[in-house]
Amino acid sequence: MSAESDHAELVEDLLAGEHRALARTITKIENRAPGYRDLVSRLHQHTGHAEVVGITGSPGAGKSTLVDKMANYYRERGETVGVIAVDPSSPFTGGAVLGDRIRMASNVGDMDVFFRSMSARGTLGGLSTATTDAVKALDAFGKDKILIETVGAGQNEIDIVKSADTVAVLVPPGSGDDVQMLKAGILEIGDVFVVNKADLAGADRTVQELREMIHMQNDHTAGLATGHHGAGATDADHGRDDDDDEEGWEPRIVETVAKDGEGVEELVETLADHHAYLEASGLLEGKERMRYAEEIRNLLRDDVGGLLEEEIDRHGGMDDLVESVRRRETDPYSVADEILEPLEDCLED
């Protein structure tokens, strides 16, 4: 069987609801196996139906436990779920360091909850192109909800905005450092903030600090509004008309005790409210445009980077180029110009 016909059969099986085909497809995507791009291209026309939620937050905030309970809640409502847990990359294999841990205890054996642990592969923000493609596979398969759990929290985690419709940021109680960390950028991406382990001391204070910071963010005079939630955004950001008078979404705070399932129903309803807001305001289409624009840019960067690596090899390899720069026979700018010149000539032609 040719690779093309094998991919066609694999896609056909996936669309028919065969979980084994879904698993094989995501494995090919994660391993960047030959022909994986053809697979993703075939799946694209069948996507666009799932709701994608990103779950991020500092290590130890309880993300995995909460995702487990959320998946269980969705299943009780008769909805199917796909979970992608983006784990740190092994420095030796590039694989997911925590990939073998048991994370979906409440849903073991449930075929309608598909769980996959994937490696961040060193990508800033922890979200690799493979993760985006895996979301497409789950979407095409017909999963109603797709949950992306990311490595941790930090300035680079803002990448999750480009992959999820709604972003929930978990903050453990009584941790002033975590709330202060939000000022570095995470506050800007959260549509919903979850104070998990709300039964612990300090939860009330954390909720109050979050409320104050959200108020400051929405106060344009404070200089913190980013436009991510609608307010303060330009029309070009979301593809809206000039006469759109939407006030924007004010991030909400939900308290949960994930280990006991407390607050999960309220969280799920809040996430649904945000998705309804995105649809009603037209921002969902704007997010989709932003997502595909970023995906195209990333693919072009990767592909052009590969072409440049080949061109470097034709010039004797990086070691020779570096040595000539070190001996002051040339300089980095001149080397870059020389390598890019044939590519620029081809584009101009």
User: In 3D, which of 91, 226, 96 has the Cα closest to residue 155?
Assistant: 226
Taking the C-alpha atoms of residue 194 and residue 66, their distance in angstroms, rounded to an integer, is 10
Identify the residue whose tokens are 């196996």. Answer: 33
Which residues sit opposite 54 in a β-bridge?
A: 148, 167
Please give the tally of structural domains in the chain: 2
Residue 293 forms part of a structural domain: no
CATH of the domain at 101: 3.40.50.300
Q: Are residues 212 and 330 located together in one domain of the fold?
A: no
Q: Are residues 275 and 307 located together in one domain of the fold?
A: no
Taking the C-alpha atoms of residue 40 and residue 199, their distance in angstroms, rounded to an integer, is 44
Strand order in the sheet with 113-119: 113-119, 81-87, 145-149, 51-57, 166-171, 192-195, 252-255
Q: Are residues 218 and 315 located together in one domain of the fold?
A: no
Q: Are residues 145 and 79 located together in one domain of the fold?
A: yes
Please, where are the H alpha helices in 282-317?
283-314
User: In 3D, which of 131, 146, 114, 134 has the Cα closest to residue 25?
Assistant: 134
Identify the residue whose tokens are 């709701």. Answer: 51
Q: Are residues 246 and 122 located together in one domain of the fold?
A: yes
Q: Are residues 212 and 265 located together in one domain of the fold?
A: yes
Of 253, 281, 309, which marks where a domain is finished? Answer: 281
Residue 10 forms part of a structural domain: no
Q: Are residues 163 and 277 located together in one domain of the fold?
A: yes
Residue 270 forms part of a structural domain: yes
Residue 89 forms part of a structural domain: yes
Q: Are residues 317 and 191 located together in one domain of the fold?
A: no
pLDDT 10s digit of each residue in the chain, 349 long?
Answer: 567 778 899 999 999 999 999 999 999 998 889 999 999 999 999 999 999 999 988 778 889 999 999 999 999 999 999 999 887 544 334 444 444 344 555 565 677 999 998 875 544 444 568 889 999 999 999 999 999 998 765 544 566 767 899 999 998 887 555 566 565 566 778 899 999 989 988 899 889 888 888 887 766 544 444 445 654 344 434 443 433 344 689 999 999 999 999 999 999 999 999 999 999 999 999 999 988 998 899 889 889 999 999 999 988 999 999 999 999 999 999 999 999 998 888 888 7
- The parent domain of residue 316 ranges over 298-348
User: In 3D, which of 207, 204, 208, 198 has the Cα closest to residue 258?
Assistant: 198
Cα 118 from chain centre: 12
